[in-house]
Chain A
Amino acid sequence: MSQPSQALQIRTSDGIVFDVCLEVAQQMGLTHSWLQSERGDLKCSDGPDDDANVMPLNRVRSDIFKLVLDWCQAVQTVDTPLEHKEMLQHQRSLFQRILTESNATDSTIFELIIAADYLNIDGLLQAGTQHVADVINGCDSVEAIRERFHIMYEGEIDE
């Protein structure tokens, strides 16, 4: 059995390697399945430099991944198991916090959602989609929605 290292190494699309503790990594469905498929096979105690132990993440950039990690770690620190609704709210507020802390732009928000989908992190995906939904709700009119999100209106729409 390979050494029970507590950290998993993940390399993002721009080549930066992150050390992620296993607990956090477990939150991500993608790493979870990766761990189960690949790491289980590795018997030899290779050094940490070994490329094979680093999980590649080709679709996520480092800055986004950092935010994802922040979120996962924050969620991790919740001790008492919350009820579903409370959990949602908590995750939402975490999400908001991360956004404001990092001066997130629209690009960041959407990248986060895409990353959450790719990494298969349900909580983050819910929080992100809720956030965007709130923004949509906040727009007063259809035109406002288009302006806010730069959506081109290209043709007749049947009601």
Chain B
Amino acid sequence: MSSRKHKGAENIENLCPVARKRSTSKNSAVVAAAVSATKTSSLYEHTSSPSVLTFEALEEMGIGMLDSEESSSSALSAITLAVSTTSDENSNETTPCTSVPRMAHQQTRMSLNSTASTLDSSSVNNNTIIEVFCEESQERLLLQSAEKLHALAQAKRTALVSSECGSNSNSPSKRTRNPLATVTCNNQIESLLPPPPLQQTPLSLLPSTSKQALLRQKKPTATPPPPTTTPTTLTTRLGPTDNFFVYRTPSMSAHISSGINYFDRLSDEILLDIFKWLPKKTLLRIATVCRRFNCCARDETLWTRLDLGLRTLRPHALEQVVRRGVPVLRLAQADIQDPAFTCESSTDFQSRLQYLDLSLASISLSSLRTLLAQCRQLRKLSLEHAELNDEICFEISQNSSLETLNLSMASGITAQSVRQMMESLSKLNSLNISWTDLSADAVTALVTHIPSNVIRLNVAGCRRVLFDTHVATLQKRCPQLLELDLSDCNSLTPAALAAIMKFNSLEYLSVSRCYLIPAASFIELKKMTSLTYLDIFGMLSDAAMEVLEKQMPKIGINKFIHSSVGRPTVGTRRTSIWGLRTRD
């Protein structure tokens, strides 16, 4: 019994991670003590049965604090989120977060007891009394204009309503306990509030037992709800009063315990074999079925890749995703809401991310920085169109195994960052830094420090800052270059071609719209034996183009409109990144 109680106390802590984090251990001890104190005393008040009944009886009846996990934590997180964010939705003032869960714990204990005693007793009177004081407490509550309580009640109601609709069937918020849909309770609530007057009082919030006893004595009679004596309906009717618990009826739990759980016969390995067929959504759902499933569902072999493209990630969702240890993550065009990480997470946690696609994702500077601060094993990274700053670039540069970096159209890149990245990323072989508004200094830093491993480089769009000398330096730094895109670098002159000709292995060259290079000079490129493709868009008339094509039959001219250097998704392969599948 004591062990169970202990577990109970422990479980309560788990109910609200936020509370655990914020309240000191001393507080939680106080809470637990208060809770158990109130529990036992209230029990003695209500029923004549010994307090032993509560836990044991409940366990036997298969009713526990358990399904609570699902509804409670989502409910509680609903509360904390509802309460802690200045949400216009609830139109409340924010209540300090700590008070909420503590009260919640007390309250849940209360409801647990009330149900226990109700179920235990067969007398209608008892029911009546409990129903009554529930109603009483609600009235009292509403009368009290304390903002705290009001906000709390509101939050409770919202959580409760969500758990109510969850207890019977699936509310979307409960169905997917996945971090990506962390809390949708708030949105749902709007349509459900205000609660219908006939609804059983959802709030049995009882600040102290003495008051509770008082109420009970005061009003022995009130319109009792129709005395349904069957335990089944009783429980479900009382469902709403148990804010955070979905109670299994005795019949349901008997059904579960009477059957054999064949999964127990399977080894973990086989279990993983089964799980690997499941789509991610189901995988997350199944993780809440039981402890063993939870362990298995977290296995890293099941989370090798994740596609969250175009999704909206609520606050802290990204943290959950990263913590799963996913190595291949696609977040293209995702909307990552702030704050993506809690403040504790930035210390010491190393993510296993190796392939990260954040192209066109909307993410704040601080979140991006925190994310990248946790990444040290990145191999390929795309930050196309992202907002960057020096700190972010610093974090990028700490990934010494980085091979491919796509910064196309990113903003906020300074010369210092460029230098730092070039100096640190010694294994880089594909770099796309086009259209990033580089300064002349940045371009200089780029070509003087670029690692010699680089074989694909796209520096398109460096208008008026990239000169022939830069190309010469580049050639000396990276003589093995295979792909070079210099389109729209309109300061280049034919002298640049001379430098380009020195690239012995160059297969692809683009000098589109480099208007200072006359058409006649292109024929020189014929001497480059390795050159296979040449893009010179916007430079020649159709007639001149035909002539050139005849003169250089072995070279494909103007075959590629879009550069693919460093890009994770090219062409029709929509969801694989750098050739790696992300969908199941």
A interface residues (Cβ-Cβ under 8 A, vs B): 106-107, 109-110, 113-114, 117, 125-126, 129-130, 132-134, 136-137, 140-143, 145-147, 149-159
Contact = CB atoms under 8 A, between A and B. Distances in A.
Nearest to B166: A141
Contacts of A157: 69, 287-288, 290-291, 294
B265 A141 contact: no
B109 to A, nearest CB: 15
A143 B67 contact: yes
B275 interface: yes
Dominant secondary structure of chain B at its interface with chain A:
helix
Interface in B69-84: 69-70, 73
B433 to A, nearest CB: 40
A132 B274 CA distance: 7
A134 B274 CA distance: 9
6 contacts: A107-B262, A145-B286, A150-B257, A151-B289, A152-B256, A152-B257
Interface string B97-135: 000000000000000000000000000000000000000
B574 interface: no
Given A110-B265, A146-B290, 18 more contacts: A114-B270, A117-B267, A125-B270, A134-B277, A136-B278, A136-B282, A137-B282, A142-B286, A142-B288, A146-B289, A147-B256, A150-B261, A152-B62, A152-B256, A153-B67, A156-B66, A157-B287, A159-B320
B277 A113 contact: no
B15 interface: yes
Interface string B4-21: 000100110011000000
Contact of A155 (B7, B73, B259, B279): B7
Contacts of B144: none
B266 interface: yes
Which residue, B10, B11, B266, has most C-beta atoms of chain A within 10 A? Answer: B266
Given A146-B256, A150-B259, A152-B290, A159 B177 contact: yes
A116 B305 CA distance: 28
B274 A136 contact: yes
Contact of A156 (B10, B270, B289, B320): B10
A99 B273 CA distance: 20
Given A143-B67, A146-B256, A156-B15, A136 B270 contact: no
A105 to B, nearest CB: 10
B256 A141 contact: no
Interface of B: 7, 10-11, 14-15, 62, 64-70, 73, 169-170, 174-175, 177, 179, 246, 252, 255-263, 265-267, 269-270, 273-279, 282, 285-291, 293-294, 320
Contacts of B66: 153-156
A76 B64 CA distance: 51
A129 B275 CA distance: 8
Given A110-B266, A114-B270, A155 B282 contact: no
A158 B14 contact: yes
Given A133-B274, A159-B179, A145 B289 contact: yes
B278 A137 contact: yes
Contacts of B257: 150, 152
Contacts, number: 120
A6 B67 CA distance: 57
Given A136-B286, A142-B285, A159-B73, A117 B270 contact: yes
B262 A154 contact: no
A79 to B, nearest CB: 28
Nearest to A107: B262
Shortest beta-carbon contacts, A-B, top 10: A150-B259, A133-B277, A110-B262, A156-B11, A129-B273, A156-B14, A129-B274, A150-B261, A141-B170, A153-B66
Given A151-B256, A152-B290, A114 B266 contact: yes
A147 B255 contact: yes
Nearest to B277: A133
Nearest to A132: B274
B56 to A, nearest CB: 15
A114 B274 CA distance: 12
Contacts of A155: 7, 11, 66, 291
Contacts of B169: 141
A154 B267 CA distance: 19
B175 A141 contact: yes
A89 to B, nearest CB: 13
A151 B287 contact: no
Contacts of A107: 260, 262
Which residue, A145, A149, A159, has most C-beta atoms of chain B within 10 A? Answer: A159
A34 to B, nearest CB: 21
A109 B174 CA distance: 30
Nearest to B65: A156
A140 to B, nearest CB: 6
A126 B277 CA distance: 9
A117 B543 CA distance: 69
B275 A133 contact: yes
Contacts of B285: 141-142, 145
Contacts of B70: 142
Contacts of A130: 277
A150 to B, nearest CB: 3
A152 B60 CA distance: 12
Given A107-B260, A159-B73, A151 B290 contact: yes
B263 to A, nearest CB: 6
A68 to B, nearest CB: 15
Contacts of B67: 143, 153
Contacts of B15: 156
Given A129-B274, A159-B73, A153 B290 contact: yes
Contacts of B293: 151
Contacts of B246: 143
B262 A149 contact: yes
Contacts of A147: 252, 255-256
Contacts of B10: 156
Given A146-B289, A159-B177, A152 B275 contact: no
